[in-house]
Amino acid sequence: MKNILILPGDGIGPEIVAEAVKVLELANDKFALDVQLSHDELGGAAYDKYGVPLADETLDRARAADAILLGAVGGPKWDTIDPALRPERGLLKIRSELGLFGNLRPALLYPQLAESSTLKPEVVSGLDILIVRELTGGIYFGQPRERLVKDGERMAYDTLPYSESEVRRIAKVGFDMAMVRNRKLCSVDKANVLASSQLWREVVEEVARDYPEVELSHMYVDNAAMQLVRAPKQFDVIVTDNMFGDILSDQASMLTGSIGMLPSASLDANNKGMYEPCHGSAPDIAGQGIANPLATILSVSMLLRYSFNEVKAADAIEQAVSQVLDQGLRTGDIMAAGCRKVSTAEMGAAVVAALKNL
């Protein structure tokens, strides 16, 4: 028996997670996965219930679980609370407490959505890249960080630290992913300016010696941002630090038409993981039943693949999603001429129906 902890979170989180759970429950029956689901709160919902964005008892449950499925956290409701208690702090804390340092963010363009991208079809068609983002170090966690008043004016600073071991373990994830894909890895940094990036590049070069089959290149992050828009298919696997990976993966998502299509996995050293869509809680469309649940449904597929090695079930979910797109069903974010606009729940139901018939 494997235990999956479900954390719906805030905004559209509960809406999209409800659909993903339906898919997961069907996969459980159909493929005899032997999983059991439990539910708890994270983010603003946890702040409302427990007074903190990640309660100790939730963290204990997360530690005990075999995998975690998360919606998204945050929203204007919590904008004015103590910054230390903001929903996003709960997310950062669960990632760091569980040691989920390896964040896999595939950006895959479904051929059915080639028209949804704002880029020319020839630039993005066939796009299939994987961004490996370091998730528990760097500037989002670095100390000291402070706001202060100096010489009568407000100032603030953050710190961007990386240790050798932190870089080595994420570089290994990048190379391992390159080995099972096309043996091409691009490490993205800002080594022309930042000391942390100079160490990053040095350590990536050292790890490369263990992977002679992988073609390694280095790119500065500003150029990488440009190249991602100019000629994204030059990339296969990208490995980069926490903040650069955050920004580049959102950018890459738009190549595929919508951030509502992109799943992610955050893994520890033993492939225990938390799985979530790349997007946030989308307060602008929350409560309307129009959010795209496919990123979360595809996160279930990643969960079954990476944490449980249930390849057949994982493949089947991806195939069901592809069939639903073939049927011309689209939520608003991926709507195109000649397609039928559906709600979050209709999209979820269509994936369930397709999976049932596979």
Nearer to ligand NAI, 25 or 88 (CB): 88
- 3-class SS string, the chain: CEEEEEEEECCCHHHHHHHHHHHHHHHHHHCCCCEEEEECCCCHHHHHHHCCCCCHHHHHHHHHCCEEEEEECCCHHHCCCCHHHCHHHHHHHHHHHCCCCEEEEEEECCHHHHHHCCCCHHHHCCCEEEEEEECCCHHHCCCCCEEEEECCEEEEECCCCCCHHHHHHHHHHHHHHHHHCCCEEEEEECCCCCHHHHHHHHHHHHHHCCCCCCEEEEEEHHHHHHHHHHCHHHCCEEEECHHHHHHHHHHHHHHCCCHHHCEEEEECCCCCEEEEECCCCCCCCCCCCCCCCHHHHHHHHHHHHHCCCCHHHHHHHHHHHHHHHHCCEECHHHCCCCCEECCHHHHHHHHHHHHHHC
Taking the CA atoms of residue 353, residue 34, residue 278 and residue 136 in that order, the dihedral angle to the nearest 10 degrees is 180
Q: Which residues bind ligand NAI (CB under 6 A)?
A: 12, 16, 72-75, 88, 91, 259-260, 276, 279-285, 291-292, 295, 333
Q: CB 308 → ligand NAI: shortest distance, Å?
A: 22
- Judge whether 288 is annotated as a binding position: yes
Annotated active-site residue in 189, 246, 275, 306: 246
Sign of CA dihedral 136, 97, 170, 229: negative
41 is an interface residue for Mg ion by CB under 5 A? no
Residue 190 known to be catalytic: yes
Annotated active-site residue in 60, 157, 210, 222: 222
75 binds, among ligand NAI, Mg ion, none (CB under 5 to 8 A by kind): ligand NAI
Q: Tell me the window of 42-50, 69-77, 205-213, 240-248 that interacts with Mg ion (CB under 5 A).
A: 240-248
- Judge whether 284 is annotated as a binding position: yes
Nearer to Mg ion, 134 or 246 (CB): 246
Find the binding residues for Mg ion in span 139-198 (CB under 5 A): none
Residue environment code for 221-246, b if the CB has 16+ CB neighbours within 10 A, otherwise e = beebbeebeeebeebbbbbbbbbbbb
Q: CB 73 → ligand NAI: shortest distance, Å?
A: 4
Q: CB 264 → ligand NAI: shortest distance, Å?
A: 8
Residue 140 known to be catalytic: yes
- Please identify the residue of the shown chain whose CB is closest to the bound Mg ion: 246
Annotated active-site residue in 22, 47, 110, 140: 140
- Judge whether 84 is annotated as a binding position: yes
Q: CB 275 → ligand NAI: shortest distance, Å?
A: 11
φ/ψ of residue 348, rounded to 5: -60, -45
Q: CB 325 → ligand NAI: shortest distance, Å?
A: 15
Nearer to ligand NAI, 196 or 281 (CB): 281
Contact status, residue 31 vs residue 316, Cβ threshold 8 Å: yes
281 binds, among ligand NAI, Mg ion, none (CB under 5 to 8 A by kind): ligand NAI
Nearer to ligand NAI, 13 or 232 (CB): 13
Which residue do the tokens 């990036």 mark?
197
99 binds, among Mg ion, ligand NAI, none (CB under 5 to 8 A by kind): none
- Judge whether 18 is annotated as a binding position: no
291 binds, among Mg ion, ligand NAI, none (CB under 5 to 8 A by kind): ligand NAI
- Judge whether 83 is annotated as a binding position: yes
- Judge whether 286 is annotated as a binding position: yes
Find the binding residues for Mg ion in span 244-303 (CB under 5 A): 246
Residue 250 known to be catalytic: yes
- Judge whether 57 is annotated as a binding position: no
Residue 211 known to be catalytic: no
Enumerate the active-site residues: 140, 190, 222, 246, 250
Residues in contact with Mg ion by CB under 5 A are: 246
Which residues define the annotated binding site for substrate?
95, 105, 133, 222
Which residues define the annotated binding site for NAD(+)?
75-88, 280-292
